Chains A and B, each alone.
Chain A
C-alpha cells in the first residue's frame, strides 16, 4: 500500500518544507503540486488532536495555501489529500516541528 500511495504522490514542494524546525508557526502554509490537482482535504494532526484546515483556492490549481495553521510545540503532521489530473486520489503528509525559541 505504501508504494501505491507513493507512486501517485505529486507534491513538488511545501513551504515550510517537510522536516522544518521552526520557533514560531508560519503565517501561511503552501503546498505546490507537480501538475494541477484539486486539494480536497487538509488535516492537521498534533498533540492537541486532529482538525481540518481551511485552504484556498477550491478546485484545480498548482498551489494551495492555508493561513495561520494552528501549529503547537512539538510534532505537527499536515496530511493532504487531492484528486490528480490523471484521475487518481493522491495523498501524503508533511511534518513541521515547532520548538521553543533559542535561549
Chain B
C-alpha cells in the first residue's frame, strides 16, 4: 500500500520534473519564437513547478512516516542529513522557483537544479560519479524529449503549417543526437547498476527490459515521424493530422516509461533481488561430502509444544553415510522420527539413525521423516532462522539454518508438483 502510494507520488514527481525542466530546455534549444503561443507553455511550466514542489513535500512526508513519524526526531535528522534530503531540497526549491519565475535564465537554472537532483540520490548516485553523471544525462535527454513533444503539440495548434514544419525539422535534427545520448547514458547507467551482469531472472533487470521495450516502440514512432511524416507536413493536411496523433502516442509512451521507472526505483533494487527466495529451494545451503537442500521448518501453531524440521540430504560420498543425531540451541532436544502412514493413521517412530546410500538423496519431508524439536526455548515464527547441527557418521558435523515458513506454503507448492 505504502509502496504503491510512494511510487505513484514518485511518478507524478518525475512527470512534473521532466515536463517543467524539459519544456524550459527545449524552448531554448529549438529557439522557440515566444510570440506564438508561449504563454500557454509558460503556464504548463509554472504548473509543473507547483506540482513538483507538492509531490516532493508529499514524498518527504511519506518517507518520514515510514521512518518513524512526522514528529520523530531521529527520522527528521536522518532525512535532512541524507542525500535524499538534498535531492528533495533541489526539487522543492527548483519547483517553487519555476512556478514563480519569469525570466528565461532563472527558469533554466531551475531546470538544471531539478535535473541535477536525479544524480544526488538513488541506486545510480550511490555507485559513484560516472553513473551519477550518466543518470543526469539520461534524465536530461528524456526531459528534452518530453519537453520537445509537448512544445511540438502546442505548436501544431498555434502555428501555421509551414512554421510548424520548420520547427519539426529542427526538433528532429536535434533529436538524433539527444536520443542517441539518452540511449548511451541509459545503457551506461544500467550496465553500471547491474555491474555488467545481465540476469533476466532478476526483477530489476526485467523492469529495465520493460523500459527498453517502451523505448523501442517510441523509436519506431519517432522514425515514422522523422522519415515518413515530417517532410510532408508543409504539403499534406493528412501528414499534419497524423503527426499530431503520433506525437500524442509518443507522450503516452514517455508517461508509461516514467511510471515504470517510478515503480522500479521505489520497489526494486539492483543489489539483491527476490529470486534469492526462489532459488534456495533447489540450491544446496551446504555443499560438501554431505549436501543439504532447502532446510525449513513450519511455523508453529499457538499452544504447540514441539516443532518439526525438514530438509533434503544428498550423500556425495562413494560410501554410505548415516545421520546419527541433530541438535539446536533453540531446543533442549532434537530427535529423528519416521512418520509411516498405515491405514490412513499416522504414527511416529523415533529412529536411532538414518542411512543415506552413496550418491543418493533422502528427503526429510512431511509424511516421511522429520526432525522433532522438544523443550523449545522459543516458538518457531514465520521468518525465523533456526540454526541446527547435524552429526553424520562419516562426514562429521554439518551446520545449517532452518528457514521457518508457513506450512500452507509447503502444502500449496507440493500440490503444484503433483
Interface residues of A, Cβ cutoff 8 Å to B: 1-4, 6-10, 18-21, 35, 38-41, 58-60, 74-75, 81-83, 85-89, 93, 95, 97-99
Contacts and interface: CB of A to CB of B under 8 A. Distances in A.
Given A58-B77, A81-B67, A97-B377, A86 B125 contact: yes
Contacts of B330: 19, 21, 97
B234 interface: no
Given A40-B78, A60-B82, A83-B79, A95 B269 contact: no
B386 interface: yes
A54 B330 CA distance: 27
Contact of A3 (B74, B126, B274): B274
Interface string B365-381: 00000000000011101
A2 B278 CA distance: 12
Given A4-B3, A98-B377, A87 B385 contact: no
Nearest to B126: A86
Contacts, number: 111
Interface residues of B, number: 43
Given A7-B268, A18-B385, A35 B126 contact: yes
**Of A87, A88, A89, A98, most B-chain CB atoms within 10 Å:** A87
Interface string B239-273: 00000000000000000000000000001110111
Interface in B150-168: none
Contacts of A4: 3, 267-268, 274
A19 B122 contact: no
Given A83-B78, A86-B121, A8 B67 contact: no
A89 B3 CA distance: 10
Interface in B362-418: 377-379, 381, 383-387, 401
